[in-house]
């Protein structure tokens, strides 16, 4: 979302290539397409501006540089993982990433933590942790299972 907002500012406010209504339409359509919404948004803006050529050029401009960066980072990671000092740095970066994920989880849990649903939140968290660490389910599988449970779980009337 922040990337799309930044792109919209550049397209509408700075460059004045499109009207804001066009970018909103393209964004809505990009949200409907499977895959990465940012790439779909870029392709949609390219299509509105220059048709097929614009869509392909915008898609390449949005995806190729990022792909090159990821390939370079992967090669660097592979070469650094053999070095003991670099491995320690990478472990520190991993610890930082875990801390960010934990802080995000707390941000999501905090509104319900002081409510009567606290026990339910703990059970859900423990269940997701067990599904991941004990039974080896992937995060995507756990999210799918959570969506399935949420779809069949009976809704309660607010108190």
**So where are the chain's domains?**
2-64, 73-152
Q: What's CA 48's distance to the chain center, in Å?
A: 26
Task: Average the pLDDT over 55-61 and give the result.
Answer: 94
158 pLDDT band, cuts 50/70/90, is: low
Share of the chain above pLDDT 90, in %: 20
Residue at token pair 């995000």: 104
50 pLDDT band, cuts 50/70/90, is: very high
pLDDT value at position 85?
Answer: 87
Task: Average the pLDDT over 19-39 and give the result.
Answer: 85
Task: Average the pLDDT over 43-61 and give the result.
Answer: 93
Task: Average the pLDDT over 44-72 and give the result.
Answer: 93
For residue 4, is pLDDT > 60? yes
For 41-68, b/e burial (b = at least 16 CB within 10 A) is bbbbbbbbbeeeebbeebbeebeeeeee
Residue at token pair 């999210």: 143
Reported pTM = 0.52
């Amino acid at each position: 979302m922040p990337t799309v907002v930044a792109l919209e500012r550049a397209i509408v406010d700075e460059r004045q290539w499109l009207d804001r209504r066009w970018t909103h339409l393209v964004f809505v359509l990009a949200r409907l397409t499977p895959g990465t919404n940012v790439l779909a948004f870029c392709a949609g803006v390219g299509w509105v501006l220059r048709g097929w050529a614009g869509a392909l050029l915008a898609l390449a401009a949005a995806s190729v540089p990022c792909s090159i960066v990821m390939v370079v980072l992967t090669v660097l990671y592979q070469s650094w993982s053999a070095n003991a000092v670099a491995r320690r740095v990478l472990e520190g970066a991993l610890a930082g990433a875990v801390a960010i994920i934990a802080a995000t989880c707390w941000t999501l849990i905090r509104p319900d933590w002081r409510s009567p649903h606290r026990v339910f939140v703990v059970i859900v968290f423990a269940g997701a942790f067990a599904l991941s660490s004990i039974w080896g389910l992937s995060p995507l599988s756990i999210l799918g299972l959570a969506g399935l449970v949420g779809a069949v779980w009976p809704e309660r009337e607010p108190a």
